[in-house]
Amino acid sequence: GDATDAAIVARASMAPHAVLFATQSTHVHAHAADRLYTTGCQLSTTQKNGKSHSVNLFETQQGVQETIHGMLNLQQSAQCYGMNSASPSTHSMINLGQGQAAPPALQPTEADIQAVQRLLRGSRSQQQSLQMTASTPRVRRPRPVRGEVPNIEWRALSLDELREHPRFLALPPVLELQMAGPPTFAYVRQDDPLWDELHDGVLTSRFLSAVLGFREPRAAAHLGLPRGMLNPRAMHDAYEYFRACNTQHRRLAGWKGCSLEARPTSEVQDAISLNEARRQEIHATKGGGQASKGGEHRGRRTWPPACLETQLELAMLYSPRSLASARTRWGSAQEAAALAAVLQALPNATIEEAGLVMLDVTTLPPTLPQHARTLALTPNALPPIGASPDAMMRRHPSAPLEAVEVKNTCPFFTRRSDPNAFYAYTEYLSESARSALPWYEVRGPVETVQPYYVPQVQLEMLVTRTSQNTFVSASASQGINLLTMNRDDLYLGELLHFLSRFWEMVKRGQPPSEAMHWAEPERFAAFLDQTALLGSGVSKGAHIARPWRRAARGVAASLFLDS
C-alpha cells in the first residue's frame, strides 16, 4: 500500500499486560504497512468469555470502522502514556497493565476510512501475489562440492599434448632454432627456460601495470581495482629492477643471438626463414611417426590425448594449501586445456604458438599518434618492450591473425564458517541461480575485461601488429566466454607517453614517486577513464556453455583429490 494514504496502522493485542505498538499515520513507512498486510492483517480486538479472538478486520466495512476506532484509541493511549509519535519512523512500546484507566474514545473520520480502504485494495492484491508465490515450485538452490585438497590438474593438458592438435601450429624445440636478436625471440617456447631469461631488462606485463601507476591508491580507486592489487611500492620495485638490469651484458653468454643488440638484417631474415620452415615441417609431419632432432616426435600420437589418470600420492603432495596459491596455479595449469577447448568449439580455426614478441619500431602502425612514433624512434626514449600472448589465432583460413590472451577463473572459494575446506560448484548454473549466490562464490567467466588487463591486451596487439585480441575467459564448470577487444592507437600513444616518463627516471637514477603520473592530472585521469572504457566495451563473440574437456577417470575427474 501507499504509506502516505494510511490514516493509522498498528498491530495490537488487547490481552492483559500486552505490549502495544503505535505510530502516527503520516510517518508510516512502506515496509511497516507491507509487514502488517503480509501477516494477513490479523488483529486481536475483542475478548469474549475471557478469551481473545483474532479476526481479519478488513473483510467488512464495519471491520474497517472498528479497526480505525481501535487504532485511534491506541494512538491516544500512546499519547496519554508519554509515547512520542511525532517523530518520523518512531515505533514506541507501552504496557497497559490491568487497572489502568482507559482514555476517552476517538471516532474515525471519513478520511481515515478511505485511507484504510485504499490500503485494503493493495493488501488483497499482495495476498494474491503471496499465494501465487507459495504455489510456484521453488527453484532448487545449487549446492557446492566440499573438499580439502583441490585438484589443480583437473582434466588438464600439457603444452606438449596441445602441440599434437592437428590445428595447433607449434614452435620448434629451442635446440632447433637459429637466434638472431629480438626478432627471433618470438620463436622460443614459453615453457623453455630460455624464454624466462629473454625477459631480462624487457618491459612486459610483469611490470606494466606498476610502471603505469595503476597500483598506487588514487589510480587503483579511480579504476575500481580490488584491494589485493593495491601496492604503493609497485612502481619503486619496478624502478629498482630496471636499474639493476645490465641490458648490455645479459646472462645468456652461451646462446648466440639472444642479446638485445640488433643483428644485421640479412642474418635476421635468414634466421626467421629457417625457424619458420622448421615450424611448418613439424606441423606437416605431426603424428606421422617422424622424430625431430630434439627427440620430441618419436612415435605416433593421436588427438584427443589419452584418458587422464592422476597419480594420487604425487598430486596430493603438491596440492596447494591456500586459496591464493590455488588460484595462481590454476591459471597456468589450465591454459592449454582452455586453448584446446577454443579449437574444438571453432572447427575452422587454427592456433599458433607464440613466444616473446618484441616491439619493432620499424613496423609501427601508421595510425599511431605522431608523438608516440617520435618516442619509439628516438634511441633509448623507451625501455625494451615485449609481450607474450598466450597464442595467435585465425578463425578461418582467410581471416586475419589475432592475439589471444587466456585467463582461467579458479573454481574454488572458501567460507569463514569452514576455514580448512575449499568449495566449488561442479554443475552449470543458470543466470538466475548465479544471481542468487554471493559474488565471491560465482566463479564463472567474466563478461568484460578488467581494467588491470587492458594495457597488457593492447600492448600485445601493438607488438604483434594485429588489430584484434580474443580474450578467453575460461571457467571449470560455467563455460567459456570469447571477448573481442580492438586495438586503440590513441590509447597506445598515451600508454607509451607514460612509459617514457618512467623510463626517464630510470635513466636519471632518480626513484619515482608512486603518484608521479598525477603530475599531469587531467591527462592521466583521461588515460585511466579510457582504460576502464576499453575493458567494459569489449564485444562478446561467443559463450561456450559446454566446452570440450579431456576424458578422465577416478580421482582425476574430480575437482577434489580427497573426494
pLDDT at 307: 85
**pLDDT at residue 520 is higher than 60:** yes
Mean pLDDT of 452-464: 98
Distance CA 380, CA 508 (A): 12
The model's pLDDT over 352-408, given as tens digits with 9 standing for 90+, comes to 999 999 999 999 999 999 999 999 999 999 999 999 999 999 999 999 999 999 999
pLDDT bin (cut points 50, 70, 90) of residue 461 is: very high
pLDDT at 3: 40
pLDDT at 316: 76
**pLDDT at residue 64 is higher than 80:** no
Domain boundaries, the chain: 3-135, 320-557
**pLDDT at residue 23 is higher than 50:** no
Mean pLDDT of 4-31: 37
pLDDT at 243: 94
Among the residue ranges 126-140, 237-251, 463-477, 541-555, the one predicted with the least confidence is 126-140
Cα–Cα–Cα angle for 432, 433, 438, rounded to 5 degrees: 110
285 vs 535, higher pLDDT: 535
Residue 532: which H helix or E strand, with range?
helix 521-536
Among the residue ranges 296-300, 438-442, 523-527, the one predicted with the least confidence is 296-300
Distance of CA 429 to the CA centre of its chain: 16
Q: pTM score, two decimals?
A: 0.74
Question: Where on the phi/psi map is residue 26: left (φ > 0), alpha (ψ -120 to 50), or beta?
Answer: alpha
Mean pLDDT of 554-558: 87
pLDDT bin (cut points 50, 70, 90) of residue 121 is: low
Q: If you ran DSSP here, which 8-state letter would residue 381 be given?
A: S
Nearest to 353 by CA among 198, 188, 177, 179: 188
| Fold of domain 320-557 | Lambda Exonuclease; Chain A (3.90.320)
Name the range with the highest mean pLDDT among 36-45, 280-289, 418-427: 418-427
Cα–Cα–Cα angle for 221, 225, 231, rounded to 5 degrees: 80
pLDDT at 439: 87
For 109-160, the DSSP string reads PHHHHHHHHHHHHHHHHHHHHHHHHHHSPPPPPP--EEESSB-TTTT---HH
**pLDDT at residue 313 is higher than 80:** no
Query: Residue 99 has which C-alpha cell?
Result: 487497572
pLDDT bin (cut points 50, 70, 90) of residue 281 is: very high
Rounded to whole angstroms, what are the CA distances from 70 to 5, 8, 106, 439, 537? 18, 10, 9, 47, 60
**pLDDT at residue 125 is higher than 60:** no
Among the residue ranges 27-36, 72-81, 278-287, 356-365, the one predicted with the least confidence is 27-36
Mean pLDDT of 89-97: 39
Question: What is the overall mean pLDDT for the chain?
Answer: 80
484 vs 64, higher pLDDT: 484
Query: Residue 278 has which C-alpha cell?
Result: 622448421
Distance CA 6, CA 113 (A): 9
Mean pLDDT of 50-75: 50
Question: Where on the phi/psi map is residue 14: left (φ > 0), alpha (ψ -120 to 50), or beta?
Answer: alpha
pLDDT at 301: 58
Distance CA 15, CA 27 (A): 27
